[in-house]
Amino acid sequence: MSDTSFSFHYLPEEDRIALTFSKEQGEVPSPVLLTRRLVKLLGNYLRHYIEKNTNLPDTICTDNKEDIYQFMHHSELETNYPQWDSGNQKQEKAKELKSARVASKVDINHTAEAVSLKFYKQNTHLVSLTLGWKQIHSFLYSLAEMSRKAEWNLENIFEWSGKPLNTQNLGQSQ
């Protein structure tokens, strides 16, 4: 699904995050509703994936790693910034989301270059999504923003990946 893009929408009446898709050509996959449990699982996994696949010099102090991950994360977001529901097309979006199904399970596979997500409702496959490096950052940041909007209190899951970049402290000696 490399030609498929995604966006997130918070549905307060469902207390779910909707993951919707768009394509330039072909059939567009149906939206998937993510529960708080799945958002926690995905957020934790993707954050650890980025940490594991980011090479930092051994001389970096443990106290500084979180700031470095956060800065690198935001650098990646500059070229692939997430899309969120602007609220302008509510009727159109509501119609699209009627076909959404709640995902109860996600299978996650990865290589050094990409993460593959397969969403299921029980044993029924709903949709697959492959995320490249920049998309992983966008997906993770979107999950953090949507969980904050939902007031799910998952800051400890997202840690550095869900924090806004503090540009005031950049370049200052400590």
Closest to 21 in 3D by CA, of 79, 88, 90, 97: 97
Model confidence at 151, in pLDDT bands (50, 70, 90)? very high
Answer yes or no: is pLDDT of 170 > 50.
no
CB of 150 within 8 A of CB of 158? no
Cβ neighbours for 153, distance < 8 A, ≥ 6 positions apart: none
Residue 141, pLDDT > 50, answer yes
Q: Is residue 89 over pLDDT 60?
A: no
- Give the side-chain half-sphere CA count within 13 A for 2: 5
Note the pLDDT of residue 22. 84
Kindly state the tokens that stand for 41.
């699982």
